[in-house]
DNA sequence: CTATCTTGTAAAAACGTTTACATATTTACT
DNA sequence: AGTAAATATGTAAACGTTTTTACAAGATAG
């Protein structure tokens, strides 16, 4: 089980040409049953392992994919990665995983060296850059989670607007009118769409928007923590909070604990995306659950599908939007 | 920025031979300043990106590593992965990440296809198999977290014995004598060493071992949850619990919450490894903290170091043991 | 019994690099 | 000026595959 046995060794041992060995292994061309058996026997005997990289020089396919995330320690990304890697593996692809640590220069470096290594395609989760950059690369790219309409690339996103709308509507239906949102930057669709969903739900129910109730920071825990504290310091604090991603929600939970406010009693809370703390606290926090693993599997499937298409110009960019689910637990108080 | 420009195109455009271009790019051989500049200019103009895979056919180095974990969604593994990938990247290596989902057949499949792809080396976290299997592979392998002495492979582990000993001693010093341990299987050093540390601390303090206080299951949350419930049902329940990994600790915390027992008051608790819940609950749970990220960076450094050694038989197997730190918070009651 | 068609296999080119060797040019020293 | 040494560059082989082309042998048909 090493890689120092080559196809030539097999050919010599089996008294056939290397072409025949290749034919047996790849099964593309006709080979007589007799020689097939003979070759297979020798392959087993010598523990021959084909060299994919040498093959890739001819086939122009390395059977390697890359998946890029901003931060591998965020469980959301890990779950998407898992989906992508598993599907890739099933279909015979190996996957590079890379965390850009939210740095654009690291992202650049990664793309360069992925290109050098001739990856067949890239799954890009939480993209940073101008989409035109990714197009220039001339490799199939699937954007996940963040997407820019009209960029010409394929994408897998979730129903951000719908999720935020449902979450907010749920709070309104339970009698809340002073509803805050803590969210990230409005740079990409994830931020804007969730914000719109929140605003639209309020508007549709005749509730006017309050600036102080709309907190925009980054997507990290500390934003949730600080913003929650600020919200609760207002002369008229909100009765409910919508925390627009997993880390913000964790920050909010911690802040409320530190303020000695009880979730579902003093303050109602709905999160976006599952997280350890939301599941742990009593009452459990209601969240908009998104199909993280499936985002990964979809992305991999779309990417590999794209790789198979011979005429690459034939395919129009495809955007898939996956639905979300509002899980209701005891974190929202009924105000009547 | 694509890969369809080859070294030949550059050579032609610059009016030099491909050898010269290669020399300029790799800087091994002397080239005149004049031609160097000329070549570099053309490289930039054409956006030439060298093909690492083609080079690897000659150099026998693919500049690719693989890292294998049982479960990518466990934050412990993610942290180690991050360390490994970051160091690898710094040194010009790309890293495949693979989660075996705790299945031996998936691990097999991964090794086969890593071999096909000619990875230069492998970081194996939480190994499953006989070490002789890994040796047969004839590729540098670094074992992380789990290690078998005398296996002839390099390894990075942590001071399991010391950590468990300190944790248990800490409980004893606070007056506890009825101390339980919830741990995983005794198949590998991680399980056995932590168990020994616990036992030794008790012995050293003249406390006799109680069978009912020693729970062996798997390393997952549910074991922590169920075992804790069983422990607290005993006619004489323990006053303190040592939870021997991150997931077990989370299970214990959830069980105690569901039993409406207060940590640090009704039951004292020390965990092994950081986890979200231990940091969240009040009082915060004391844990043995291990340098997860550093385990990853060390492993990558050792692996890459090994790759550089020309005479591979010259190097004896090296095992590095990293220290741990006992973080004391309010989860341990002082019994006087 | 030739002409045509199948079938199975081999030979060789190609992929994009690196590198050992060869050759041409320059420099340095008598 | 003549030679040796040093420097710069080109030539070609090699890496381990796939794939095109060619060809031999056997089968089928007239």
Q: What 8-state DSSP symbol labels residue A316?
A: P
| Mean pLDDT of all residues in A82-105 | 92
Is the residue at B329 inside a domain? no
Of A53, A257, A280, the CB nearest to B117: A53
Would you state the structure tokens that stand for residue A282, as one six-digit string? 């009593």
pLDDT band at A1; cut points 50, 70, 90: very low
Q: What CATH number is associated with residue B37?
A: 1.10.260.40
Separation of B8 CA and C28 C1' (Å):
36
* Co-location of A26 and A101 in the same domain: no
Q: Are residues A271 and A317 in the same domain?
A: no
Contacts of B53 in chain A (CB under 8 A): 53, 56-57, 62, 117-118
Q: How many domains does chain B have?
A: 3
Whole-angstrom distance, CA of residue A155 vs CA of residue B42 = 35
* Range among A231-240, B29-38, B49-58 with highest mean pLDDT value: A231-240
Same domain, A142 and A188: no
B106 and B169 part of one domain: no
Q: Do A138 and B1 touch (CB under 8 A)?
A: yes
Please report the pLDDT score of residue A295 as a whole number. 98
Looking at the DSSP assignment, which residues form a beta bridge with residue B144? B125, B156
Average pLDDT of B258-279?
A: 97
Is residue A254, in this structure, part of any structural domain at all? yes
Question: What is the per-residue DSSP string for A55-80?
Answer: HHHHHS---EEEEEES-TTSHHHHHH
Task: Based on the fold, state whether residues A146 and A243 are members of the same structural domain.
Answer: no
Parallel, antiparallel or unpaired: strands B286-289 and B268-272: parallel
Contact status, residue B117 vs residue B97, Cβ threshold 8 Å: no
- Mean pLDDT of the B175-180 span: 98
Rg of the Cα atoms in chain B: 26
For A87, the 3-state DSSP assignment is: helix
Together in a domain, A125 and A33:
no
Torsional class of A148: left (φ above 0), alpha (ψ -120 to 50), beta (otherwise): beta
Predicted pLDDT of residue B313? 56
| B43 CA → C25 C1’, Å | 26
Quote the pLDDT of residue B1. Answer: 47
Q: In the predicted model, is pLDDT for residue A59 greater than 80?
A: yes
- Residue B130 pLDDT grade (very low, low, confident, very high; cuts 50, 70, 90): confident
Per the CB < 8 A criterion, the answer to whether A331 and A264 are in contact is yes
Instruction: Supply the range of the domain harboring residue A251.
Output: 160-290
**CATH number of residue A314's parent domain:** 3.40.50.2300
pLDDT tens for residues B78-103? 999 999 999 999 999 999 999 998 78
Say if pTM beats, i.e. exceeds, 0.85. Answer: yes
Q: At what angle do helices A104-116 and B75-90 cross, to 10 degrees?
A: 70
Domain co-membership, A168 together with A217? yes
Closest by Cα among B322, B331, B332 to B299: B322
Residue A272: beta bridge partners? A288
Task: Give pLDDT tens digits for A262-317.
Answer: 999 999 999 999 999 999 999 999 999 999 999 999 999 999 999 987 555 557 88
Residues contacting strand C at CB < 7 A? A 15-20, 23, 29-32, 34-35, 54, 57-58; B 4, 6-8, 18-19, 22-23, 25-26, 28, 48-51, 54-55, 57-59
What are residue A243's DSSP bridge partners? A182, A271
User: What integer pLDDT is reported at residue A152 of this predicted model?
Assistant: 85
A336 falls within a domain: no
Residue A122: pLDDT band (50, 70, 90) is: very high
A6 touches strand D (CB under 7 A): yes
User: Does B146 map to a domain?
Assistant: yes
- Asked if residue A259 belongs to a domain, the reply is yes
- Please answer whether residues A70 and A127 qualify as being in contact, where contact means their C-beta atoms are separated by less than 8 angstroms: no
Indicate if the pLDDT at residue A27 is higher than 80: no
Cβ-contact A161, A128 below 8 angstroms: no
A268/A185 same-domain check: yes
Which one, of B293, B291, B292, B287, lies nearest residue B326 by Cα? Answer: B287
With CA of A11 and C1' of each nucleotide, the nearest comes out as C10
Which of B49, B71, B109, B274 has the highest number of chain A CBs within 10 A, making it the mutation to test binding with A? B49
């Amino acid at each position: 089980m090493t890689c120092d046995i080559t196809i030539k060794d097999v050919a010599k041992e089996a008294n056939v040409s290397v072409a025949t060995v290749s034919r047996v292994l790849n099964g593309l061309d006709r080979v007589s049953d007799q020689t097939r058996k003979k070759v297979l026997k020798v392959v087993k005997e010598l523990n021959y392992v084909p060299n994919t990289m040498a093959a890739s020089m001819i086939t122009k396919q390395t059977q390697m994919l890359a998946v890029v995330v901003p931060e591998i320690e965020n469980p959301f990304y890990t779950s998407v990665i898992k989906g992508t890697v598993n599907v890739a593996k099933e279909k015979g692809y190996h996957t590079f995983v890379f965390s850009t640590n939210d740095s654009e220069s690291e992202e650049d470096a990664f793309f360069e060296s992925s290109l050098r290594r001739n990856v067949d395609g890239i799954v890009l989760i939480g993209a940073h850059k101008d989409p035109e950059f990714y197009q220039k690369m001339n490799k199939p790219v699937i954007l996940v989670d963040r997407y820019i309409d009209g960029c010409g690339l394929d994408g897998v996103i979730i129903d951000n607007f719908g999720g935020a709308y449902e979450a907010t509507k749920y709070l309104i239906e339970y009698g809340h009118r002073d509803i805050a949102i803590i969210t990230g930057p409005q740079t990409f669709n994830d931020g804007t769409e969730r914000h719109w969903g929140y605003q639209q739900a309020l508007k549709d129910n005749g509730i006017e928007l309050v600036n102080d109730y709309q907190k925009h920071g980054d997507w990290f825990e500390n934003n949730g923590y600080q913003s929650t504290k600020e919200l609760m310091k207002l002369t008229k604090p909100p009765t409910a909070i919508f925390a627009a991603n997993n880390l913000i929600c964790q920050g909010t939970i911690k802040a409320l604990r530190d303020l000695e406010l009880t979730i579902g009693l003093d303050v109602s809370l709905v999160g976006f995306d599952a997280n350890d703390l939301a599941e742990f606290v009593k009452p459990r926090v209601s969240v908009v659950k998104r199909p993280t693993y499936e985002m990964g599997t979809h992305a991999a499937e779309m990417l590999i599908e794209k790789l198979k298409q011979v005429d690459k110009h034939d395919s129009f960019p495809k955007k898939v939007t996956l639905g979300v689910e509002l899980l209701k637990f005891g974190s929202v108080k009924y105000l009547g």
